[in-house]
Amino acid sequence: MSGLLHRFTLYLMREIFRASISYKIDWTKICFVGAILTVGGISLQMLILPSSLHTWFIYQPATVTLYESMKETMQLNETHKNSTERVQLIPTNSVVAHNASDQVIQLASVNQERDKTSKSRKSSKRRKHAKVKEKPIIVTPPPPRRPPTALERHVWSLKPVEALAYAKEEMNHAPTVIDDADLYAPLFLNISIFKRSYELMELILKVYIYRDGSRPIFHTPHLRGIYASEGWFMKLMEENRQFVTKDPEKAHLFYLAYSARQLQTALYVPNSHNMKPLSIYLRNHVNWLAGKYPFWNRTHGSDHFLVACHDWGPYTVNEHRELSQNTIKALCNADVSEGVFKLGKDVSLPETTIRTPRKPLRNVGGKRVSQRPILAFFAGNMHGRVRPILLRHWKDKDDDIRVYGPLPQRISRKMSYIQHMKSSKYCICPMGYEVNSPRIIESIYYECVPVIIADNFVLPFSEFLDWTAFAVVVAEKDIPKLKEILTAIPLRRYLAMQINVKMVQKHFLWNPKPLKYDLFHMVLHSIWFSRLNRFQIPGT
């Protein structure tokens, strides 16, 4: 019927057009007839529609959520293809229309939803970045402690004297170590003894720290400069949980936690050249501890120890005989010629330069052998008896041996002090006012073979480390023959020493959190080993 009406309309229009060409037309009547035909056509179309008019014009606009499943969409499309009737899909209060205009509405709704999601994501990212500082710190719980073995339970049940007797007996039966994943055998005089002693330290040792004494002399670690070793040991020892005990009755060693550097800063009168007030202060403190606690008098101080890196460290103990003679002293100024440092009892403490306490391992490392064109290097202040002799014989005398006083600015602008050490095969380490020198450990840090010139100096950890494997020791009288001594070393031996310097480096590092076999543990082990060696088993 719709087709018949359409053909009638076309026919009527053609007849009107022909008539308009031949005759004068009354256009008012024509427009009136056209309006009647238009209204009649629309009415006829409404009568033949498949649904009522209000469904098409009053229905709610379609909305599509992003969470509708693909399955529902595919079902909807399939229904559109196979049906001429209107399809209504209502999954979650959403309606999808089925003509072209409603499909446009559907796509627009999807795009709006995507835009909203994108904006919400961006805003959430901005909120996340804005709250970075407020983000709570997630603390990972420590792994559960393994249950102690039967051996550990037995050893921990022993009294301190019994535990030391057990350790001493164990040292006599140390198993032979040929190869070890954590230790490099060429560095050690006897790796088997060292490893067993270290294991026993980890198993047994407990240290009691006296909390007495006022700051800054006591319990104030000095962490910067060439005397930083005493401060770093104090800091790490007081933070330690493995070796420190709060029960003095369980302790094998007692730590006098004072700083020789802070003692000098607090009490020394500048230019007085009088160190006696320092030693009197320390003497009075030890006497006060002996009166307050029973532990000093039990052994006359032989199970007590102190750690001092300042040059004046040995002289701060002179006013107290038992402190000087019995106590284990870990000293940077390990000079056997003065009678204060006792070989076999006292410990040589490495003197380490720490420039940045927050990054104690900064600049550690060196260049390859092929990038070390300088044979030997030294720069430093002219104090003590050895350095002026070195300067007199070698300054500006040989391009291979570069010896300076303080490094001149014209030189340091091109290559810094550290860069010189990293570019040299050998680094000359002469003593200053005292036998110790921070250059020895600096050389190890920068992987330069140290050349040590200091008679009567007890090298750190020399009870276990074989210094000839990674260093050259030159007598003071042989300074004029320095180049001859160094050039006589075969290339193969130098390469082996340079490798050994890299391998021994781990034993001289102050780690912010101590690691096995690092400098903190090596110092503590030397103190433990001294205590063990001098301990007499009761009844023997």
374-378 and 347-348 as β-strands: parallel, antiparallel, unpaired?
A: unpaired
* Average confidence score pLDDT of the chain: 84
Is pLDDT of 68 > 50? no
Sign of CA dihedral 453, 455, 458, 461: positive
Lookup: tokens for 246? 């709060």
Phi, psi of 498 (to 5 degrees): -65, -40
| Whole-prediction pTM | 0.74
pLDDT of residue 147: 87
Amino acid in the structure at residue 483: K
Q: Name the least confident of 137-151, 198-212, 366-380.
A: 137-151
Amino acid in the structure at residue 46: M
- With vertex at residue 215, the alpha carbon angle to CA 214 and CA 221, rounded to the nearest 5 degrees, is 130
Fold of 369-508: Rossmann fold (3.40.50)
pLDDT of residue 123: 54
* Cα 259–chain centre separation: 26
Contacts of 465 (CB under 8 A, 6+ apart): 187, 188, 189, 459, 504, 507
pLDDT of residue 62: 43
Q: Mind listing the pLDDT tens digit for each residue in 258-302?
A: 999 999 999 999 989 899 999 999 999 999 999 999 999 999 999
- Are 95 and 60 in contact, with CB atoms under 8 Å apart? yes
Query: Which residues sit opposite 377 in a β-bridge?
Result: 402, 427
Average pLDDT over residues 486-515: 97
pLDDT of residue 365: 95
Is pLDDT of 112 > 60? no
From edge to edge, which strands make up the β-sheet containing 253-255? 207-209, 253-255, 304-308, 328-331, 347-348
**In sequence order, what DSSP letters do the residues of 389-437 get, joined into one string?**
HHHHHHTTT-SSEEE-SSPPHHHHTTS-HHHHHHTEEEEEEE--SSS--
Q: Mind listing the pLDDT tens digit for each residue in 7-41?
A: 766 666 676 666 655 555 566 666 676 677 776 66
Radius of gyration, CA atoms only, the chain = 45
Lookup: tokens for 277? 């007030």
Q: Mind listing the pLDDT tens digit for each residue in 295-321?
A: 999 999 999 999 999 999 999 999 999
Is pLDDT of 120 > 60? no
Lookup: tokens for 101? 């205009």
Q: What is the dihedral of CA 461, 468, 514, 175, to 10 degrees?
A: -70
**In sequence order, what DSSP letters do the residues of 296-358 get, joined into one string?**
HHHHTTTTEEEEE-STTGGGGGTT-HHHHHTSEEEES--BGGGSSS-TTTSEEPP---BS-TT
- Are 324 and 443 in contact, with CB atoms under 8 Å apart? no
Q: Name the least confident of 22-36, 113-127, 326-340.
A: 113-127
Percentage of residues of the chain with pLDDT beyond 70:
74
Q: Mind listing the pLDDT tens digit for each residue in 362-404?
A: 999 999 999 999 999 999 999 999 999 999 999 999 999 999 9
Domain segments of the chain as ranges: 202-355+520-534, 369-508
pLDDT of residue 4: 61
Is pLDDT of 75 > 60? no
